[in-house]
Structure formats: C-alpha cells, structure tokens
C-alpha cells in the first residue's frame, strides 16, 4: 500500500531524536495524554515526540484494509473508514484510545466474541525498536517473533509507528436487544449459547456485551447490523445510555453512535463528576460530555489531590482505586461474578465475551486457550476498612483471577511479585525478544513499567 509523503520524514526525525538521547539514558515517549490508570514516575529525561504520528495514511475499500500511524485515535480511524461502509474489527470503547496503544496494550469490545482483540486484525507493523532500528514486522517474516510478542508489551519492546489492519463491512444501523436476567448462572449460560450459535431469535448477532447492576439485575445487550431503523436514540447529550438498559427492551442507533455509546459517560464513571445531572449535561453540551474531558479532570485530581483532602477533612475513610479489566474462562465466570458481588462493593460493572479469533495463533505475552472468556470491567473506588492498606482489594482480585485460570490487563495498578508476574505473562518468551530488539535495555522492562510504575 503506497504511503503519502510525510510519514517517512516523521520516521526519520524520530530516529534522529532517538540517536540524540545519551546511550545511558532511558528512552520514553514524550506524551501529554494517556489512557492508563497506573501512575508513572516523573522524569526529566528527554522523550521521543510521537505527537505527529496521527494520520490515517490510506483506506483501501477493496482490500478492506487501512494503513494508520500509531497515535491515531479510534475516533479518527472510525471517521475515516465509515464513509466506505467499513470499520475496524474491534473498536475499543473510548474515542481517545489510539490504535498503537490498543495493540501494544490490548483492547476489547462487543465484537470480540467473534474478532478477538485489536492486535488480531493487524497485518503488519512498522516498529521503532529499543535498539534504534525501524523494522517492519509481519507474522511471516524475519521479525515474526516480535510481531507475536508485541501485544501486551506496553511499549517495552518498541513503538508502533505505522500499522496495517483489516476492516470489516457495516450496515448503517445497529438494532439492540437488552435481555434482563435475575440469576448470573442463567446469564452466563445464555451468553455462552449466543456466542457459540451467533444467533438470537432467528437474527444474526454481531455484538454482545452486558451490564451487572446487582445480584438480581443483569442485562445482556445483543446488537445486529440492520439496513433500516424505525427510530434512532441519541445518548450523546441529555440521555444516558446505560440507564436505557433498564427501561428499554430494544433500541436503535447509528453505527457511529453504537461504537461510542459508552464514551459520553465513560460507561457510568461520569457520575463521579456530577455529569449525569440533567442541568450539568445541558450546560456542558456534547462538546464536553466525552471521555477525554473526564481524563483531564482525573489528571487534575492526581496532581492536586483536592478531593482526597476534602474527604479526609470530612473524616471519611481513605478509598482505594479499583480500576481493572480481567478475563476468566466462561466456565468460571459465575464464580468470579459471585466473588465480586460478595466482596467488592462496586456496581454496575461491565461484562464482555471474547475469544481468540484464530485458535492456532500464539500471542505469547497474553495467551488464551481455545475457549470463550468473559471480561469483567470495573472502575471505581472502595472505602478501606480499619486495618486495610491501599491495594487490599486489588490484591484480592488478582488472587481470585489467578485461581480461576484468568488474566488481567496491565493498564492499571498491579501488585504481583516479580516471580508471579513473569509466570503469568510468559517471562521466558519476553526475555528472548527483549534481548533481540532491546539488548541494552534502553526501554523499561514490562515488570518495571507495569508493576513498579517506573
């Protein structure tokens, strides 16, 4: 696929920046924004400026592929592909997640039961490696080992500068059916059936996710592409999508609004900022009801700790951030759900089925068996009881997930010992690729970055 002028020049400038960093200094990205929920150590070391890598280079509607720079957000990517009647195979829930970030850090959405994770639709990647080379990695060339190890490496093996990905055709609208359950066992049994048969009531199923409000109130949401819609709902301003699950048995959205149905309220996390109050929504308008705005509020709180100080002045107990996405096999999903409802006071929480797209592919840093898995996403804070230290709930979740044969994403805080971590995330395979493409350890290793937060 021919690349327009500009990308090669941006790559050349980035390589010059890399070479200008002293050989004994660590290499980092100079980024002002992030979709990570774990802290990063402050440093005065120079960083690589990748802010210019924000271009959709080409969309090929015949081959159903796109060539995209690593810092392109999914909002940009979707806006570039939908005019051709195409979309990425998996579109993570928030507009500001970048393609490069979703591939190196994993991603998931309601098409994952049939399309897996974003990295499974990548055809090739242009990567700046830790030793300063710019290489093109494909599943069938001399850099196949790096191609396979790149997902879940979080920039510790290199940075994706350009990616070529597969696209899939869409129809203009998505018809939604919200199925109410009062028993998690029945919900997960039906989830398994739907994902296996890919039909519901004689209609094909293109999307599946779910929301758990309590032990006796859960919903599966099933989406189907359709050519026509009798009406359209709008959850980009005054109306709140997740509340509609409790009041509507069916609904219709444009494809674009479906893909971003969670972004307006950051699932339900906007309630922490008062953004679910009608008067706040009317004043804020669509422009400010977005996940990137909420990120700025979170970043401000992290810098100032104003809210935490107010809570202490009021005599309230300290709170622990419990922000995680985990996956367990479908056969253990009910057990995890029961544990979470019993021990962690966070509702609602999200569930999303996923299955590896190609059962024969090996992604060594985040391996799945040939089974359906269920992702549980929960994003809130929990009051610590007397005697509990910060991290109590997160450590407990890690223990339970491990005991159920699951894994957790590394975009948030992790508390594993080094031995536990490398057992779960395939330390031997990582070490081989790390020594090949970053022999002088210019980039942090995965444990240092994701657990020690260096």
Q: What pLDDT, in 10s, does the model give residues 104-138?
A: 999 999 999 999 999 999 999 999 999 999 999 99
Q: What is the pLDDT of residue 261?
A: 98
Placement of tokens 């094909």 in the chain: 204
pLDDT for the residue numbered 361? 93
Closest to 261 in 3D by CA, of 273, 248, 245, 280: 245
Element (H, E) at 295: helix 291-304
Tens of pLDDT along 28-81?
887 665 656 556 655 666 689 999 999 999 999 999 999 999 999 999 999 999
Tokens read off for 72:
């392109």
What mean pLDDT do residues 199-211 have?
Answer: 96
Proportion of the chain above pLDDT 70, given as a percent: 95
- Residue pair 161/71 in contact (Cβ under 8 Å)? The answer is no
Say if 347 falls within a structural domain. no
**pLDDT on residue 34:** 61
Under a CB-based contact definition with an 8 Å cutoff, are residues 438 and 25 in contact?
Answer: no
Query: Quick one: how far is CA 303 from the chain centroid?
Result: 24
In this structure, is the dihedral angle defined by the CA atoms of residues 98, 104, 109 and 111, taken in order, positive or negative? positive
Residue reference for tokens 């990517």: 77
Q: Which two tokens stand for residue 225?
A: 């592409």
Span of 14-28, 173-187, 244-258, 354-368 with lowest mean pLDDT: 14-28
Encoded tokens for 292: 């990137």
What is the H or E stretch that residue 19 is in? helix 7-20
312, 319 contact by CB (below 8 A): no
pLDDT band at 422; cut points 50, 70, 90: very high
The alpha-helical segments, DSSP class H, found in 320-453 are 333-343, 392-403, 418-424, 427-437, 446-450
Cα separation, 29 vs 307, in Å, equals 29
Which structural domain, as residue segments, surrounds residue 116? 7-170
Residue 69 lies in a domain: yes
The pLDDT tens digits of the residues spanning 21-43 come to 998 888 888 766 565 655 665 56
Q: What is the mean pLDDT of residues 427-449?
A: 95
- Residue 362, domain member (yes or no): no
| Count: domains in the chain | 1
Q: What value does the mean pLDDT take over residues 329-352?
A: 97
Alpha carbon distance 444, 454 (integer Å): 8
Residue 344 forms part of a structural domain: no
How many residues make up the chain in this entry? Answer: 454
CA angle 243, 246, 247 (to 5 degrees): 95
Tokens of 54: 């924000």
Q: Could you tell me the two tokens for 441?
A: 């350890």
Omega into 348 within 30° of 0, i.e. cis? yes
Task: Check residue 448 and give its pLDDT.
Answer: 94
Q: pLDDT value at position 24?
A: 84
- DSSP assignment of 168-234: EE--SEEEEEEEEES-HHHHHHHHHHHHHH-EETTEE--EEEEEEEETTEEEEEEEEEES--S----
Q: Give yes or no for residue 302 having a pLDDT over 70.
A: yes
Q: Report the alpha-carbon angle 123-124-128, nearest 5.
A: 155
The tokens for 422 are: 């490398």
> How much is the pLDDT for 314?
78
382 Cβ contact list (under 8 Å, min separation 6): 319, 320, 322, 344, 345, 346, 393
> Distances in Å between the alpha carbon of 67 and those of 80, 170, 192, 319?
11, 19, 34, 43
Residue 29 lies in a domain: yes
Residue 291 falls within a domain, yes or no? no
Q: Determine, yes or no, domain membership for 130.
A: yes
Q: What pLDDT is stored for residue 310 in this prediction? A: 75
Say if CB 125 and CB 160 are below 8 A apart.
yes
pLDDT in the model for residue 37 = 56
- Of 18-27, 194-203, 332-341, minimum mean pLDDT range: 18-27
CA–CA distance, 134 with 12 (Å, rounded to integer): 9
* Mean pLDDT score of the chain: 93
Give the per-residue pLDDT at 236: 96
For residue 4, is pLDDT > 60?
A: no
Contact 291, 266 (CB under 8 A): yes
Assign residue 161 the CATH number of its domain. Answer: 3.30.465.10
Residue linked to tokens 């479908």: 330
Is residue 163 a part of any domain in this protein? yes
């Amino acid at each position: 696929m021919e690349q327009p002028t500009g990308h090669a020049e941006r790559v050349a400038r980035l390589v010059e920046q890399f070479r200008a960093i002293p050989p004994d200094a660590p290499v980092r990205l100079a980024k002002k924004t992030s979709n990570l929920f774990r802290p990063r150590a402050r440093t005065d070391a120079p960083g690589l400026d990748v802010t210019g890598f924000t271009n959709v280079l080409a969309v090929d509607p015949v081959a159903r592929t796109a060539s995209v720079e690593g810092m392109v957000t999914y909002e940009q990517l979707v806006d570039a592909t939908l005019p051709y009647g195409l979309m990425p195979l998996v579109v993570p829930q928030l507009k500001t997640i970048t393609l490069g970030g979703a591939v190196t850090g994993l991603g998931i959405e309601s098409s994952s039961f049939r399309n897996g994770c974003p990295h499974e639709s990548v055809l090739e990647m242009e990567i700046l490696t830790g030793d300063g080379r710019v290489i093109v990695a494909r599943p069938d060339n001399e850099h196949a080992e790096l191609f396979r190890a790149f997902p879940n490496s979080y920039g510790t093996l290199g940075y994706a500068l350009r990616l070529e990905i597969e696209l899939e055709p869409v129809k203009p609208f998505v018809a939604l059916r919200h199925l109410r359950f009062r028993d998690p066992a029945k919900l997960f049994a039906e989830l398994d059936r739907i994902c296996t048969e890919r039909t519901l009531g004689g209609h094909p199923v293109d999307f599946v996710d779910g929301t758990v409000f309590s032990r006796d109130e859960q919903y599966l949401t099933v989406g189907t592409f359709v050519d026509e819609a009798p009406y359209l709902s709008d959850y980009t301003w005054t109306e709140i999508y997740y509340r509609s699950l409790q009041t509507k048995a069916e609904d219709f959205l444009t494809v674009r609004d479906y893909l971003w149905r969670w972004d307006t309220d950051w699932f339900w996390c906007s309630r922490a900022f008062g953004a679910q109050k009608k008067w706040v929504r009317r004043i804020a308008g669509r422009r400010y009801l977005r996940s990137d705005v909420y990120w700025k509020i979170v970043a401000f709180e992290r810098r100032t700790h104003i809210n935490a100080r107010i809570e202490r002045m009021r005599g309230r107990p300290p709170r622990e951030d419990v922000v995680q996405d985990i996956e367990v096999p479908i056969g253990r999903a009910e057990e995890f759900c029961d544990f979470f409802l019993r021990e962690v006071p966070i509702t609602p929480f999200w569930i999303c089925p996923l299955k590896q797209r190609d059962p024969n592919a090996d992604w060594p840093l985040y391996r799945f068996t040939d089974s359906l898995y269920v992702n549980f996403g929960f994003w809130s804070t929990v009051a610590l009881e007397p005697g509990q230290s910060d991290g109590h709930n997160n450590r407990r979740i890690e223990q339970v997930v491990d005991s159920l044969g699951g894994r957790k994403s590394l975009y948030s805080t992790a508390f594993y010992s080094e031995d536990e971590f490398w057992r779960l995330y395939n330390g031997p395979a990582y070490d081989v690729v790390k020594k090949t493409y970053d022999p002088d350890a210019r980039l942090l290793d995965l444990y240092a970055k994701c657990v020690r937060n260096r």
